[in-house]
Amino acid sequence: MDYFNYQGDTLFAEQVALPTIAANYGTPTYVYSKATIEKHYHAFADAAAAHPHSLVCYAVKANSNLAVLNVLAKLGSGFDLVSGGELRRVIAAGGDPAKVVFSGVGKTADEMRFALQLGIKCFNVESVSELHRLQEVAQSLGKKAPVSLRVNPDIDAKTHPYISTGLKANKFGIDILLAPDIYRAARELSHIELVGVDCHIGSQLTETQPFLEALEKLLHLIDVLKADGIQLKHIDIGGGLGVTYDQEQPPLPADYISKVVARLSSYPELELIMEPGRAIMANAGILLTKVEFLKPGQEKHFAIVDAAMNDLIRPALYSAWMNIVPVVLNNTLGKQLYDVVGPVCETGDFLGKDRELAISEGDLLAVRSAGAYGFTMSSNYNSRPRAAEIMVDGERCHLIRAREQWQDLWQGEQILAD
Ligand code: LLP
């Protein structure tokens, strides 16, 4: 459920009409709804509250705008992050480092040092080499690094291959069969403190069953370790819960999390950590764009809009289907099938194909569910300044990232001196 609804013929973000945003800030523009972000965060946090200890660590990569992070930090959210840049964003947004888990297969020594100095909650370690690097860095600082091993439970998440991460063939995590030995070896490392176990099997999952299978495997590992005298404090089940882009019917966060909580009833001492990204942000945002030209063809009709693959790459990269709707409904126009495409010079530059729309040149369109992996994956390809970002809060509209200026495009570049 989100707060993007039609009032009469016009699509609103909460109490703000989208044409007003386009008039004041231009297009293309990402628009987020604060109330939707809060609602989605609560869906996880409230369901998890049935367990004695729990923490939502929002996956920053989904949308890392400072205002988004700040809204979540104020709700008490922790953060799952994958780079020193994301960690700096969390701090700049007022996030609490003690609620940060640091994932990712390629952490540098600098990133480890910075995170250790800040006192993050946990490093989600993805390889033996990483464990040794972390031991060295922690030793050099005279600190103990809190560690969870990210295990790869070899489970088919049944999602797009590019966003499936829990299979043996994927680069992520440590083979769960090798994990007990690695924990035992890690126990001997002087500057490592073993605090948890985690996994993340993929993204945009539409069933709970693969999650629950992974949970079983993690709990089994926890039991094996306990028998060995290694008592972990937390279990981190990753992110990955899907959202509705089209006809998908993923479980609601509350349904999924309450099943996890029920299974954890015999583990009251374990803290439950979740890392949702998409389920919090996707349907809390839209990409607002304007139709520049309608170009009829013999085989296809094209609606050429002012947003492109550089603004929103999901359709081009994953063949992702994202809903595209007119911002103002016009019943007087006939419907027509269009490919909705951007101005970038690539055949793959489309936002949607074969969409039935009643539109004219100059009309506004909204690409729905664009709040996650939208702006964060955007680029300057074709020297296109990145879009503005707006957050709506009731009747108020906040510019949370200004549209890039022309000179931003070559910032930091140098012409050779003669
Ligand atoms: N935790 C870890 C360790 C992750 O790698 C990810 C996402 C998440 C949590 C959050 O997953 P979520 O709840 O958002 O599914 N760009 C792709 C999605 C890539 C997801 C990568 N990892 C897309 O646009 O579909």
| Tokens standing for residue 110 | 């600098």
212 and 140 in a single domain? The answer is yes
34 CB less than 6 Å from ligand 1?
no
Work out the angle at residue 117's Cα, subtended by the Cα atoms of residues 278 and 41, and round it to the nearest 5 degrees.
20
The span from the CA of 114 to the CA of 120, in Å, is: 9
249-291, pLDDT tens digit by residue?
Answer: 999 999 999 999 999 999 999 999 999 999 999 999 999 999 9
**Beta-sheet pairing, 145-152 with 100-102:** unpaired
| Tokens standing for residue 151 | 């295990």
Ligand 1: atom nearest CA of 198 is 3
The answer to whether residue 337 sits within a structural domain is: yes
Domain edge (last residue) among 251, 279, 307 = 279
Half-sphere exposure of residue 57: CA atoms within 13 angstroms, side-chain side: 33
Would residue 345 show up in a list of annotated catalytic residues for this protein? yes
Ligand 1: atom nearest CA of 276 is 13
260 and 300 in a single domain? The answer is no
The span from the CA of 24 to the CA of 19, in Å, is: 9
The answer to whether residue 416 sits within a structural domain is: no
CATH of the domain at 393: 2.40.37.10
133 and 252 in a single domain? The answer is yes
Q: How far is CA 125 from CA 60, 135, 184, in A?
A: 18, 11, 15
Residues in the chain: 418
Q: What's the average model confidence in pLDDT over 301-307?
A: 98
Burial class (CB in 10 A: 0-12, 13-18, 19+), 75: middle
The owner of tokens 């304007």 is 290
> The pTM is what?
0.97
The owner of tokens 């829990």 is 166
Amino acid 1: pLDDT:
79
Amino acid 156: pLDDT:
81
Amino acid 162: pLDDT:
67
63 CB less than 6 Å from ligand 1?
no
Q: What is the residue type of 41?
A: Y
Q: Give residue 291's Cα distance to chain centre.
A: 28
342 and 379 in a single domain? The answer is yes
The owner of tokens 């070896």 is 185
The span from the CA of 346 to the CA of 366, in Å, is: 22
Amino acid 166: pLDDT:
65
Domain edge (last residue) among 244, 279, 314 = 279
Beta-ladder partners of 57:
78
Q: Whose CA is nearest to atom 5 of ligand 1?
A: 200
Nearest to 200 by CA among 132, 267, 105, 117: 105
The phi, psi pair for 363, rounded to 5°, reads: -70, 160
147-197, pLDDT tens digit by residue?
Answer: 999 999 989 877 776 666 666 767 789 999 999 999 999 999 999 999 999
Ligand 1: atom nearest CA of 277 is 14
CATH of the domain at 149: 3.20.20.10
The span from the CA of 22 to the CA of 16, in Å, is: 11
17 and 119 in a single domain? The answer is no
The owner of tokens 């951007």 is 342
Q: How far is CA 159 from CA 88, 129, 203, 213, in A?
A: 31, 29, 7, 15
Q: Given ligand 1 and candidates 273, 275, 379, which is best to mutate, with the most ligand atoms within 8 Å of its CB?
A: 275
Q: Residues 384, 308, 329, 294: is their CA dihedral positive or negative?
A: positive
Count of H helices and E strands in the chain?
11, 21
Cβ atoms 403, 388 nearer than 8 A: yes
Q: What's the average model confidence in pLDDT over 378-386?
A: 98
Provide the domain limits for residue 373.
4-32+282-410
Amino acid 374: pLDDT:
98
The answer to whether residue 415 sits within a structural domain is: no
373 CB less than 6 Å from ligand 1?
yes
Q: What's the average model confidence in pLDDT over 128-154?
A: 97
92-119, pLDDT tens digit by residue?
Answer: 999 999 999 999 999 999 999 999 999 9
203 CB less than 6 Å from ligand 1?
yes
178 and 294 in a single domain? The answer is no
Q: Give residue 61's Cα distance to chain centre.
A: 5
Q: Residue 245 pLDDT more than 70?
A: yes
Q: Of the residues 57, 122, 199, 345, which is catalytic?
A: 345
30-48, pLDDT tens digit by residue?
Answer: 999 999 999 999 999 999 9
64-94, pLDDT tens digit by residue?
Answer: 999 999 999 999 999 999 999 999 999 999 9
The owner of tokens 């049944």 is 158
The span from the CA of 191 to the CA of 209, in Å, is: 37
Q: Which residues contribute to the annotated binding site for pyridoxal 5'-phosphate?
A: 240, 275-278, 373
**Structure confidence at residue 418 as a pLDDT band (50, 70, 90):** confident
390 CB less than 6 Å from ligand 1?
no
Strands (E), 69-144: 78-81, 100-102, 122-125
Amino acid 113: pLDDT:
98
The count of other CB atoms within 10 Å of the CB of residue 190 is 8
The answer to whether residue 345 sits within a structural domain is: yes
The span from the CA of 182 to the CA of 353, in Å, is: 48
Give me the number of domains the chain comprises: 2
20 and 48 in a single domain? The answer is no
Domain edge (last residue) among 212, 244, 279 = 279
The answer to whether residue 295 sits within a structural domain is: yes
End-to-end CA, the chain: 59
The owner of tokens 């930090």 is 73
Average pLDDT, the chain: 96
The answer to whether residue 418 sits within a structural domain is: no
304 and 233 in a single domain? The answer is no
| Tokens standing for residue 373 | 């992996």
The answer to whether residue 327 sits within a structural domain is: yes
